[in-house]
Amino acid sequence: MLIDEDAISMISQTYDVVIVGGGAVGSSIAYHLAAEPTFDGTVLVVERDPTYQKCSTALSWAGIRQQFSTPECIGMSGYGVEFYRNAATWLTVQDKVPDLGYVENGYLLLVDETKGEQAKANYDLQSEYGVAVEWLEKDQIAERFSEINVEGISAATFGYRNEGWIDPMSLLNGLKHKARHLGVHYANDEVVDLLQKDTQVQGVVLKESGEVRSQWVVNAAGPRASSIGAMAGVEIPIRPQRLVTFVFDCQQEVAHHTLTLDISGVTFRPEGAGYIALLAPGPDENPWSFDFDIDYTVFNRRVWPALAHRIPAFEAIKLKSAWAGHLAINYFDHNAFLGAHPALSGLLFANGFSGHGLQHSPATGRALMELIVFGGYRSLDLSRLGLQRLLDNQPIRENMVFGAL
């Protein structure tokens, strides 16, 4: 089902909130605003790709995990899991009950000796915050996951609960449908400029519909976030990174059902009757672009050898297809920028998730709603993720990012 079927052709010239970007993050912000009983304002979501065929949400692995290295990311994923579990209630519209297809098979993160100290520190932090994660020594990995060749592995962490994946378009469809049901407007258009007076952002200029004034503009433009920031004279260190996913079948039945990050950098998990795998591109592969080019030789040169080494049954696999998508990489510290810029008013940022935007979209929606409606965070304090850290050159590094450079 195409989710642009209900996009409006005529929009008002004034809204309380204009959200730039209608993917999971932008639509979550719209939903949380519209669902907040004390908010009675108007909301417009502007999405440049009405088919959503090339948006980051549609091309995402849609994973959910709490194995992060910063408390904020752990907490945001916690709300993400809660949201997924309650989506059938929270996102239902009349007789349309969304099914996100939540698969809770866990994340297995393999570690070699060079990464053991950092992995143990991450594990200790996660345990402190109540994450359902186990530390496994090499012999425990071999016993628990007998299909794995443990050569080169020193340990692993296994998120055995509240970790898995969903269907990304089911989430996006559910958010958008419920947001529209609650009064949010969607426009198939493109923001080409911001309306600004001195340090006050006052709205947007749309390619087709012209000026739209608003009290708030929210930058939720994913990989294109830096171009929206530039319209207000703000440089944010976000760039698109192309990431290719390979789809393959295995001739043998393999009893391996978790999402697994190998020490080689290859990440893989089941998908339908087969599997999918990815590997961060090398710097010689021109990763910083908006193109969707796929180098199929990478699978045979780099991905398949790593898969076959780690799970011997994967020696006999067949590449079926591949797709390319884009991450919005915050190359400052791999954490999101959330909230206002200290030098501007009327413009909020929700950008640079570096590969974990979809799983953090529920918490981001709630957080931006709280900033707009209440003037501050109420549920989860995310103030450390503001843009002040960029101005102060004080990164809060998230070291558990998969496939990101």
SS3 for 327-341 is EEEECCCCCCEEEEC
297: in domain:
yes
Provide the residue type at 69 as one letter.
Answer: S
Same domain? For 118 and 135 the reply is yes
- Predicted confidence at residue 402, as pLDDT, reads 87
Same domain? For 251 and 230 the reply is no
CATH number at residue 361: 3.50.50.60
Angstrom distance (rounded) from CA 77 to CA 383: 16
Domain boundary among 288, 304, 328: 328
Angstrom distance (rounded) from CA 312 to CA 145: 13
Domain boundary among 307, 328, 349: 328
95: in domain:
no
Q: In 3D, which of 359, 286, 374 has the Cα closest to residue 324?
A: 286
- Other C-beta atoms within 10 Å of 393: how many? 7
Same domain? For 323 and 244 the reply is yes
pTM of the entire predicted model = 0.96
85: in domain:
no
77: in domain:
no
223: in domain:
yes
Average pLDDT of 171-182? Answer: 97
Q: Is the pLDDT of residue 117 over 80?
A: yes
- The pair of structure tokens assigned to 5 is 């079927």
Same domain? For 152 and 188 the reply is no
Range of the domain at 354: 14-62+168-237+332-391
- Other C-beta atoms within 10 Å of 293: how many? 10
Same domain? For 313 and 354 the reply is no
Provide the residue type at 357 as one letter.
Answer: G
- The pair of structure tokens assigned to 339 is 């909230």
Same domain? For 311 and 336 the reply is no
378: in domain:
yes
Provide the residue type at 384 as one letter.
Answer: R
Same domain? For 319 and 286 the reply is yes
73: in domain:
no
Cβ atoms of 44 and 214 within 8 Å: the answer is yes
- The pair of structure tokens assigned to 110 is 């393999």
Same domain? For 244 and 214 the reply is no
Task: List phi, psi (to 5°) of 86.
Answer: -105, 5
The pLDDT tens digits of the residues spanning 279-322 come to: 988 877 778 989 999 999 999 999 999 999 999 999 999 999 99
Higher pLDDT, 182 or 403: 182
Average pLDDT of 68-97? Answer: 96
Same domain? For 113 and 206 the reply is no
- Predicted confidence at residue 322, as pLDDT, reads 98
Provide the residue type at 43 as one letter.
Answer: V
Same domain? For 185 and 261 the reply is no
Same domain? For 336 and 321 the reply is no
Q: In 3D, which of 364, 92, 80, 79 has the Cα closest to residue 219?
A: 364
Angstrom distance (rounded) from CA 276 to CA 107: 14
- Other C-beta atoms within 10 Å of 295: how many? 14
Same domain? For 245 and 358 the reply is no
CATH number at residue 287: 3.30.9.10
186: in domain:
yes
Domains identified in the chain, total number: 2
